[in-house]
Structure 1
Amino acid sequence: MLRFKADSVVFMTREGHRIKMPREQLTQGLALVALLLMAGMALFGPSGLLAWSEQSQLLEQRKAQIAQLTDERNRLQQDVDALDPENVDPDFAATIVREQLNVVHPDELVLELEPQK
């Protein structure tokens, strides 16, 4: 059975099923391959869904690291403020001198302990 379409000839079987031409099958096959490639890149590509979840996990790790570093910076800023020459905290200064320079008062006794094995 032969039917005419406005732009091309369409071949059909007796049951009314359309017979596809090899060129049309090739075009549809290439379109399917292109669509599958795009879907694969959307899932597995460098900016795909799987990479996006990995990037969000890295972002959370970086946020935690930033919070830790911010706390450390604030602690160090408090130490700097406590050692300000205009308003030095005598207890804190004594602690720093003892730790950094191994200084003791004349009335103190130093006991050296052997390391445990």
Structure 2
Amino acid sequence: MQGLSLAVLLLMGAFVIAGPSGLIAWGENQRLLEQRRADLASLKLERARIQNRVDLLDPKHVDPDLAGELLRGNLNVARSDEMVMLIP
């Protein structure tokens, strides 16, 4: 009976150290949490940038500079007195 109790306690101890929510996994989870927080901050900035472009393209108040940029970039439209410079 004592041997069985000792085996169960050792098994529980092993799960505390190396289990899916044990001490070893805890450090990895903290690292992943920090990485996900950084990714979330990056995605929030990207969303704000895209939201700004959407607001500038509102059909009622189109920003003329952005509309011209999109026309020149997507349709290759340029006036005869303009010089196009491609920046890599």
For the structure 1 residues 34 and 87, does the alpha-carbon distance in structure 2 shift closer, same or farther, using more than 3 Å as the test?
Answer: same
- Return the letter of the residue paired with 1:35: L
Shift of 1:77: 0.6
Cα offsets for 1:66-98 (capped at 9, x unmatched): 111111111001001111121111111111211
The correspondence of residues 69-80 of structure 1 with structure 2, limited to 5 A, is 69-80=43-54
Return 44-53 or 72-81, whichever deviates more.
44-53
Aligned to 1:88, which of 62, 66, 81?
62
Provide the rounded CA distance (Å) in 2 between the counterparts of 1:32 and 1:108: 85
Provide the rounded CA distance (Å) in 2 between the counterparts of 1:111 and 1:95: 13
The alignment's C-alpha RMSD in Å is 1.8
Shift of 1:110: 4.8
Rg larger in 1 or in 2? 1
Q: Percent identity?
A: 52
Pick 1 or 2: higher relative contact order, CA cutoff 8 A, min separation 6.
2
Provide the rounded CA distance (Å) in 1 between the counterparts of 2:76 and 2:50: 21
TM superposition score normalised by structure 2: 0.84
Cα offsets for 1:44-67 (capped at 9, x unmatched): 011111112211211111111111
Segments of 4+ moved more than 3 angstroms: 109-112
For the structure 1 residues 32 and 72, does the alpha-carbon distance in structure 2 shift closer, same or farther, using more than 3 Å as the test?
Answer: same
Give the secondary-structure state (helix, strand or coil) at the position aligned to 1:81.
Answer: helix
Shift of 1:43: 0.8
TM superposition score normalised by structure 1: 0.65
